[in-house]
Structures are given as C-alpha cells and as structure tokens.
Chain A
Amino acid sequence: TQLLEQSPQFLSIQEGENLTVYCNSSSVFSSLQWYRQEPGEGPVLLVTVVTGGEVKKLKRLTFQFGDARKDSSLHITAAQPGDTGLYLCAGWGNAGKSTFGDGTTLTVKP
C-alpha cells in the first residue's frame, strides 16, 4: 500500500507570510497532484507534476516534485485570506490508483 504523509496537518498564519506544505512517501509515484478542498465541496485540482525535479508556478503558489518522485512541496508566497482551505496531495501509481495525503488545513488571518 502506498502512503502519503502530509505536514503540517494544521497551519495558521498571518496575511502576508510565506508557508510550505510537504508531501512525503517511501513510494515512487508516476505523477502527483495537488488539490484544494473547500468545506462541503469536492477537491479541485491545482496542479499535476510528472517529472522528477519539476517545478510549476501558479501565481503565488510554487509546486515542486522531488527528484526521486517520492515527495512534493507546495510553497505559498505572501499568503492571503482567500488561500484558506484544505490542501491535499494525491499520488498516482502505474496501476491507475491514487493515494491521497491526510491534508493540510491552512488558515490565513487578515
């Protein structure tokens, strides 16, 4: 069974601060996705990373896939209250089965 560990589980910061969320596994994934989930809604895809060492930027969000494709990070620069939500990483194995991390609940205070 492939496991994904996300850290931290909870993060509460002030508007304007930077933060990084980590997603780690002992397994290799063919790709990894980051989702954001609002209360009462399904997860919404933010980004997919496929190549080891890949870095993708989405406005103030920077996503990195580890060289060995076992880990990933999400960095938010100058966080805003609108960034508040549950951030989930999900790894895909070759068999087409996805594994989700436990999630990181981010609260950005104005």
Chain B
Amino acid sequence: EPEVTQTPSHQVTQMGQEVILRCVPISNHLYFYWYRQILGQKVEFLVSFYNNEISEKSEIFDDQFSVERPDGSNFTLKIRSTKLEDSAMYFCASSKTGTGSFSPLHFGNGTRLTVT
C-alpha cells in the first residue's frame, strides 16, 4: 500500500538555524498538510497546500514557516530561524480531496525536530 514518507526521521539543530523537513506524499493525492505534535501534547494543524499554494494555515504558521513543492514528488516545510519551542514531531499528511469527508488523511511517521 502506498505511504507517505518523511525524512529525516530525527533532526537536531541549533537555535537560529534553518531546517527543511521533507515529505513525499502519496503519488495520486492532491492535498498536502503539515501538522505538529509537541511531546505529550495534541496534534496541531499547521498548513494545507493544494494546487501549488497554501489553502489554509493556522496561527502557528507564522512568517518563520514556509512550504514548497519544488518538484512533482516532494513537499517541504522550512523553518527559517528555529526556536527552542519549535522542538516537536512534525507530521506530513496527504489526501485525495481536501475536505476530509470522504478522503482520509494519510500520515507519515514524522520527523522529530530537536532544537538545542
């Protein structure tokens, strides 16, 4: 069964550095998402992406964050200048349609980002 893959599985970076988290969504999916889960806390929506542009974003997704689909397969999340509070598990997800009603989210296994 096709799956969403994320790399790296664990990223350690120093405060103030830029990081890029990478995701390969399922090939026939059209909607892409990033979520964040701080250790022991809830899964939080960051951003959804469709047709090469952001369709929705949360208040967490500020100017430090950006997303890109640089080619036909990859979907990236960039954090420009990391802060300690950015430490979390970041999940990429994809779906065929965008409403969630009939098209489930398929999640990757996440990238654990540790900012020191």
Are B104 and A45 in contact, CB atoms less than 8 angstroms apart? Answer: yes
Query: B98 to nearest A CB, angstroms?
Result: 4
Are A96 and B48 in contact, CB atoms less than 8 angstroms apart? Answer: yes
Are A31 and B44 in contact, CB atoms less than 8 angstroms apart? Answer: no
* A44 to B41 CA separation, bound complex (whole angstroms): 17
* A96 to B43 CA separation, bound complex (whole angstroms): 16
Contacting A at CB under 8 A, from B83-116, are: 91, 93, 98-102, 104-110
- Per-residue contact bits, chain B 60-73, to A (CB 8 Å; 1 contact, 0 not): 00000000000000
Are B100 and A92 in contact, CB atoms less than 8 angstroms apart? Answer: yes
Instruction: State whether A101 and B42 are in contact (beta carbons under 8 Å apart), knowing that A31-B99, A41-B110, A42-B110 are contacts in the complex.
Output: yes
Q: Which residues of B contact A101 (CB under 8 A)?
A: 42
- Taking the complex as formed, is B17 at the interface, i.e. its CB lies under 8 A from any CB of chain A? no
Q: Which residues of A contact B58 (CB under 8 A)?
A: 97
- Per-residue contact bits, chain A 15-57, to B (CB 8 Å; 1 contact, 0 not): 0000000000000001101000100111111001010000000
- Taking the complex as formed, is B18 at the interface, i.e. its CB lies under 8 A from any CB of chain A? no
- Taking the complex as formed, is A100 at the interface, i.e. its CB lies under 8 A from any CB of chain B? yes
Are B56 and A95 in contact, CB atoms less than 8 angstroms apart? Answer: yes
Are A88 and B43 in contact, CB atoms less than 8 angstroms apart? Answer: yes
- Taking the complex as formed, is A83 at the interface, i.e. its CB lies under 8 A from any CB of chain B? no
Are A97 and B42 in contact, CB atoms less than 8 angstroms apart? Answer: no
A-B contact pairs, 23 of them (CB 8 A): A30-B100, A30-B101, A31-B99, A31-B101, A33-B105, A37-B43, A42-B91, A43-B43, A43-B91, A43-B105, A45-B104, A50-B102, A88-B43, A90-B43, A96-B48, A96-B56, A98-B105, A100-B35, A100-B42, A100-B45, A102-B42, A103-B42, A103-B43
Residues on A facing B (Cβ under 8 Å): 30-31, 33, 37, 40-45, 48, 50, 88, 90, 92, 94-103
Residues on B facing A (Cβ under 8 Å): 4, 31, 33, 35, 41-45, 48, 55-56, 58, 91, 93, 98-102, 104-110
